Amino acid sequence: MAKFEIKKAKDGQDYFNLVAETGEVLLSSEMYTTMKACENGVASVKKNAPLEERYEMLESANGKFYFNLKAGNHQVIGTSKMLATAEDAKAVAAKVAAEAADAEVVNVEAAAAVAEAAPVAEAPVEEVKAAPAEKKETKAAKLNASVAPEDFDWDAFEGGDIYGASKEEIDEAYNKTLSKVVENEVAEGEVTSVTKREVVVTIGGKSEGVIPVSEFRYNPDLKVGDTVEVFVESAEDKKGQLVLSHRKARALKSWDRVNEAFEKDEIVKGFVKTRTKGGMIVDVFGIEAFLPGSQIDIKPIRDYDAYVNQTIDFKIVKINQEYRNVVVSHKALLEAEQAQKRGELIGKLEKGQVLEGVVKNITNYGVFVDLGGVDGLIHITDLSWGRINHPEEVVSLDEKIKVVVLDFNEQQQRIALGLKQLSAHPWDNLDPNLKVGDKVSGKVILITDYGAFVEIEPGVEGLVHVSEMSWSPRLHSAQEFLKLGDEVEAQVLSIDREARKISLGIKQLCENPWDNIRTKYPVGSQHKATVRNITNFGVFAELEDGVEGLVHISDLSWNKIKHPSEVVATGDVIDVQILEFDENNHKLSLGRKQLTPNPWDEIEAKFPVGSTVEGTVASLTDKGANITLDGDAEGFAFTRELVKEDGKQAVAGETLAFRVIELRRSTRRILLSHLRTYAEVKEKAAAAEAESTKKAVKKVNSNLEKTTLGDIDALAALKEKLAKGE
């Protein structure tokens, strides 16, 4: 059964090896500063070992193969030994995947301490006296010295006695000059050779180790004689070569170095390995750190690839201890340097001072200029006296320009610059004889909803308000009259040289149609007009360009309408009559219904109050019914007036006789009643019968005294009969 052996290195740090049941070391960890961290590393291996995607197969410079086991955050948590072939490396990885999860954890140092504490029986030791060393000078000792070829003793050489001592003694003396090489440990070595592909390092052993130069990419200044840390992967391979790795040595101690640099706020060197989503991957002490794109430089990056394979200074800005993620920033160093330079420069600044700088960045609102490590902003309004749409019309990237200091804030360390202030204001060169009423020409450089700006001279522009573009009282959009780039003529309406403002007008160069409006359109005259706009209260109709009038809703039709759209539509050409003028305000009142007879003159004559007419129930409402009369006239009858003689209610489509009970000229309304057509006849008949009965009773009463008792009975019977209407 495999087991994790936790050990302690010479420097007091802890590490572990995953050892197979056969004693073969399958996996080795990095160095940990605490036992707890080392135990967490074992737990991480147990968790990630069964996952196939956690293994990274690699080939060393000497042609051997090994693999790294990585955690979910891509941090290396274990490395295998060097193996002859890729198949061997895969086989060992398979063992790790199969046995790591269930492997036993053994603290070797603790177990050794327990073993030492146990009593051990001592065996008797026989004292042996050392034989005295013989000191003798032989002929061979003399030959050990460097001699000339003619003095060399070839007889001694052929006899094998050229060392001056036994070969074992010489080997022992030689071995004492060598350092002890311990596999899977970090040692210090000295660079003895540097080529384009390899770095040769000695650690005091019998042979030197060859390390790929790619492992030193972070240190382009590496030279012979430098001391570097290396990880001893193998003391001797099949070729007798010492196998070293600088990358693994850095990885074992990298986490402590990273934390130390972070705590001390140190500047570290890092090698930019590659681009990734959102930034770059940087090698810092052998750890892959993330460099966000926003933290590369203080200016926008145009080419990210230019930073790849470069060694740059960084500052560690964030560390996630749980996932071992490191975030670095190059921008933080530049900002600190820039802040220092900015403070020094601002201390020397004065308003009005002229400086030279380089255009560093161009935005929609202005230009950032590098004044020598410090940036200042030229707002778009301070680039040119004339109106521009974008700063690129005036300056370009990396262009050297002179600027003037307009303002600066020492607390916020902001510098406001100006470019146009270095040249005279165009208003200073404006013709002093230009006055109100003069005719000028220029080019439309800006159009807004309220008007257009016309440049009459470079840097001098005037506003043509939309109301000054046409004599029409209707509100127009400036885009209906002008477009960018148009060459126009205008009249100066006002000029303010102190405020540097000019008001222009275009319509003043055309004849005002309202000057002779009464002559051309007298009151009562009839004309054709085009419907331009429809509102709830009426219709605006145009007689000609610049002359419009209002047809009020009450003057559109003799009949009652709810909205003007019921009788006209936009664009219709209609006949109108001039009703009234307001020359001061350029207002004209028009009428349409006045061109046709008033239908109520005929209705009053045809349907007088009290007359009985025939009508058809057109539709029923909550309050009554609409009745259609002869000649398309319409009337209205309330519900109570629709009761028929048989007591039933009139229904839609039924034709009946109606009595005209009221004509309302102001509201154009005819009130009708079917009930009254038959109710009045009954009332008159009942009244006549009542009057006849009254007269008969009076006559009977006058003759009552002259009758007999029998006559009285007969008269009583007659009275009762009359009362019943028989």
The verdict on domain 426-509 having CATH code 3.30.465.10 is: no
Question: Minimum mean pLDDT among 537-541, 578-582, 629-633: which range?
Answer: 629-633
At 143 the pLDDT is: 41
Residue of 497 and 118 predicted with greater confidence: 497
The encoded tokens of residue 189 equal 């070595």
Q: Give the model's confidence band at 151: pLDDT under 50 very low, under 70 low, under 90 confident, else very high.
A: low
Q: Give the model's confidence band at 199: pLDDT under 50 very low, under 70 low, under 90 confident, else very high.
A: very high
**CATH code that applies to domain 513-595:** 2.40.50.140
Question: Minimum mean pLDDT among 56-70, 146-160, 474-488, 564-578: which range?
Answer: 146-160
- Residue 484 scores a pLDDT above 80: yes
Highest mean pLDDT among 8-17, 110-119, 531-540: 531-540
Q: Give the model's confidence band at 625: pLDDT under 50 very low, under 70 low, under 90 confident, else very high.
A: very high
Strand blocks (E) in 450-586: 451-457, 460-465, 487-496, 501-505, 526-534, 538-544, 547-552, 573-582
- Residue 132 scores a pLDDT above 60: no
Q: Give the model's confidence band at 417: pLDDT under 50 very low, under 70 low, under 90 confident, else very high.
A: very high
Contact 81, 237 (CB under 8 A): no
Q: In angstroms, what is the C-alpha Rg of the chain?
A: 57
**Secondary structure class of 561 (helix, strand, coil):** coil
Q: How far is the first Cα of the chain from the last one, in angstroms, to the nearest whole number?
A: 136
Residue of 145 and 308 predicted with greater confidence: 308
- Residue 131 scores a pLDDT above 50: no
At 605 the pLDDT is: 75
Q: What is the pLDDT of residues 58-67, one digit of tens each?
A: 887 677 888 8
Distances (CA, A) of 249 to 233, 390, 611: 10, 55, 122
Q: What is the pLDDT of residues 632-683, one digit of tens each?
A: 678 899 998 888 888 888 898 899 989 888 887 766 788 999 888 887 777 6
619: left (phi over 0), alpha (psi -120 to 50) or beta: beta
Question: Minimum mean pLDDT among 10-14, 236-240, 656-660, 695-699: which range?
Answer: 695-699
Count of beta carbons in the 10 Å neighbourhood of residue 304: 14
Q: Give the model's confidence band at 138: pLDDT under 50 very low, under 70 low, under 90 confident, else very high.
A: very low
Q: Give the model's confidence band at 300: pLDDT under 50 very low, under 70 low, under 90 confident, else very high.
A: confident
At 548 the pLDDT is: 83
Q: What is the pLDDT of residues 311-337, one digit of tens each?
A: 888 989 898 887 878 999 998 888 888
Q: Give the model's confidence band at 121: pLDDT under 50 very low, under 70 low, under 90 confident, else very high.
A: very low
- Residue 306 scores a pLDDT above 90: no
Mean pLDDT of 685-708: 65
Q: Give the model's confidence band at 338: pLDDT under 50 very low, under 70 low, under 90 confident, else very high.
A: confident
d(C-alpha 418, C-alpha 384), whole Å: 9
Mean pLDDT estimate for the chain: 80
Who's near 237: CB < 8 A, 6+ residues apart? 62, 64, 82, 243
Domain 183-329, second-level architecture? Beta Barrel (2.40)
CB-based contacts of 617-623 (< 8 A; 24+ apart in sequence): 617/642, 617/650, 617/651, 617/652, 617/653, 617/654, 617/655, 617/656, 618/652, 619/652, 620/651, 620/652
Residue carrying structure tokens 């530049």: 334
- Residue 148 scores a pLDDT above 70: no
At 328 the pLDDT is: 92
At 327 the pLDDT is: 93
The encoded tokens of residue 435 equal 């006055």
Residue of 513 and 614 predicted with greater confidence: 614
Highest mean pLDDT among 34-43, 245-254, 376-385, 506-515: 376-385
Superfamily of domain 334-422: Nucleic acid-binding proteins (2.40.50.140)
d(C-alpha 153, C-alpha 139), whole Å: 9
Residue of 5 and 690 predicted with greater confidence: 5
At 63 the pLDDT is: 75
Give 625's strand partners: 620, 637
Q: What is the pLDDT of residues 266-281, one digit of tens each?
A: 888 888 988 888 899 9
Q: Give the model's confidence band at 130: pLDDT under 50 very low, under 70 low, under 90 confident, else very high.
A: very low
At 139 the pLDDT is: 40
Q: Give the model's confidence band at 705: pLDDT under 50 very low, under 70 low, under 90 confident, else very high.
A: low
d(C-alpha 183, C-alpha 385), whole Å: 76
Q: Give the model's confidence band at 460: pLDDT under 50 very low, under 70 low, under 90 confident, else very high.
A: confident
**Secondary structure class of 10 (helix, strand, coil):** coil
Helix axes 675-702, 709-723, angle to 10 degrees: 170
Q: Give the model's confidence band at 709: pLDDT under 50 very low, under 70 low, under 90 confident, else very high.
A: low
* Cα–Cα nearest to 101, from 69, 76, 73: 69
Q: What is the pLDDT of residues 498-521, one digit of tens each?
A: 888 899 988 888 877 777 777 788
Highest mean pLDDT among 148-157, 433-442, 603-612, 698-707: 433-442
Alpha helices, H only, 511-659: 517-520, 599-606
* Cα–Cα nearest to 468, from 515, 506, 514: 506
- Residue 137 scores a pLDDT above 70: no
d(C-alpha 201, C-alpha 603), whole Å: 123
Distances (CA, A) of 634 to 400, 603, 612: 87, 10, 15
- Residue 118 scores a pLDDT above 50: no
Contact 406, 458 (CB under 8 A): no
- Residue 76 scores a pLDDT above 90: no
% residues pLDDT > 70 (the chain): 82
At 141 the pLDDT is: 42
* Displacement of CA 711 from its chain's centroid (Å): 118
Domain 3-114, second-level architecture? Roll (2.30)
The encoded tokens of residue 308 equal 């790849």
Mean pLDDT of 20-43: 84
- Residue 708 scores a pLDDT above 70: no
Task: Look at domain 599-673 and name its CATH class.
Answer: mainly beta
CA atoms lying within 13 Å on the CB side of residue 170: 9
At 368 the pLDDT is: 92
Q: What is the pLDDT of residues 523-548, one digit of tens each?
A: 888 888 888 888 999 988 888 877 88
